[in-house]
């Protein structure tokens, strides 16, 4: 929200100089594509990369649409093509690193049940490929645990994911130690005071644990989801199955993992082939 508000202020400041007049609803309604391209050119000159420029343009469009609706105008916005964003390849962690990380996060915990909670969350991210928000969105309705778990993902879409034995045991151990009751409507993973667990808390304990383990800053909770998909692909799982497990709406989102696996194969080749 702060970033979008800052973009609106930057745009108005730029237009005041660019148009040489007071920037009101009428002025915003007369903007053309060339005006927005001029704004982006200035921002590019300030060092904005493709990804940031695309976000900036998205914020500008949102602001102009809002201004139009406030003035009772139609939202016919100037058309400007967004810069192409490079498709970044996820960086998975190895299976051993994923397990070590899940065991290490409890070292700083103030209570045994909190250590068990953090380990259970990370094992769930790696063992079932969940997003952090999906794991923390689980409620007591998931209990008692079986061999699968119903997860609500983006756009409120539900999917079924497997629950491996070690993951199930870790969650059950946390549940056994947790001092708070667990009704069907209450969050499964609790904060220290009993409220819903905040995702930032998980990211914080992972940052501390990866420093102790000597892992790179790419080792994040979300990297465990990438690792889930990459390791499945490396063991022969097909893309359609991985797409379903990850809850991707489009197969193109899942295909990025083929690049990850190929990169791994090339590393093995270069390290092992006598003439590499």
Q: Of 117, 168, 190, 248, which is the active-site residue?
A: 248
Q: Which residues contact 138 (CB under 8 A, 6 or more apart)?
A: 149, 151, 187, 188, 189
Active site residue 225: yes
Q: Of 30, 154, 157, 212, which is the active-site residue?
A: 154
**Contact by Cβ (8 Å): 127, 153:** no
Tokens of 252: 């193109």
Q: Of 55, 207, 222, 264, which is the active-site residue?
A: 222
Active site residue 257: yes
Q: Of 210, 225, 226, 231, which is the active-site residue?
A: 225
First to last CA, the chain: 49
> Contacts from 54-59 at CB under 8 Å and sequence distance 24+?
54/82, 54/83, 54/85, 55/3, 56/7, 57/82, 57/83, 58/82, 59/3, 59/4, 59/7, 59/8
3-state secondary structure of 162: strand
Give which of 46, 44, 27, 25 is closest to 82, Cα–Cα: 44
**Contact by Cβ (8 Å): 152, 134:** yes
Q: Which residues contact 24 (CB under 8 A, 6 or more apart)?
A: none
Active site residue 9: no
Active site residue 207: no
Q: Of 43, 131, 190, 210, which is the active-site residue?
A: 131
Give 138-149 as a DSSP string.
-BGGGPSP-SEE
**Contact by Cβ (8 Å): 174, 117:** yes
Active site residue 131: yes
Catalytically annotated residues: 131, 154, 222, 225, 248, 257
């Amino acid at each position: 929200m702060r970033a979008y508000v800052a973009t609106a202020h930057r745009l108005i400041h730029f237009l005041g100089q660019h148009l040489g007049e007071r920037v009101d609803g009428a002025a915003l309604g007369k903007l053309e594509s060339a005006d927005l391209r001029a704004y982006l050119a200035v921002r590019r000159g300030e060092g904005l990369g493709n990804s940031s420029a695309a976000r900036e343009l998205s914020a500008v469009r949102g602001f102009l649409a809002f201004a139009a609706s406030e003035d009772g105008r139609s939202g016919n916005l100037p058309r400007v093509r967004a810069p192409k964003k490079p498709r970044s390849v996820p960086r998975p962690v190895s299976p051993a690193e994923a397990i070590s990380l899940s065991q290490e996060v409890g070292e700083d915990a103030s209570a045994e049940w909190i250590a068990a909670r953090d380990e259970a969350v990370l094992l769930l991210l790696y063992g079932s490929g969940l997003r952090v928000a999906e794991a923390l969105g689980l409620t007591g309705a998931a209990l008692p645990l079986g061999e699968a778990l119903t997860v609500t993902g983006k756009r409120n879409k539900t999917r079924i994911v497997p629950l491996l034995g070690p993951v199930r045991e870790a969650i059950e151990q946390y549940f056994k130690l947790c001092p708070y009751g667990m009704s069907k409507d209450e969050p499964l993973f609790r904060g220290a005071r009993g409220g819903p667990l905040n995702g930032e808390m998980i990211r914080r304990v992972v940052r501390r644990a990866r420093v102790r383990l000597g892992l790179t800053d790419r080792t994040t909770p979300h990297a465990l989801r990438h690792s889930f998909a990459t390791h499945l692909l490396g063991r022969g799982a097909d893309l359609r199955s991985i797409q379903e497990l990850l809850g991707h709406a489009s197969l193109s989102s899942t295909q990025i993992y083929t690049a990850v696996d190929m990169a791994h194969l090339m590393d093995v080749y270069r390290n092992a082939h006598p003439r590499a």
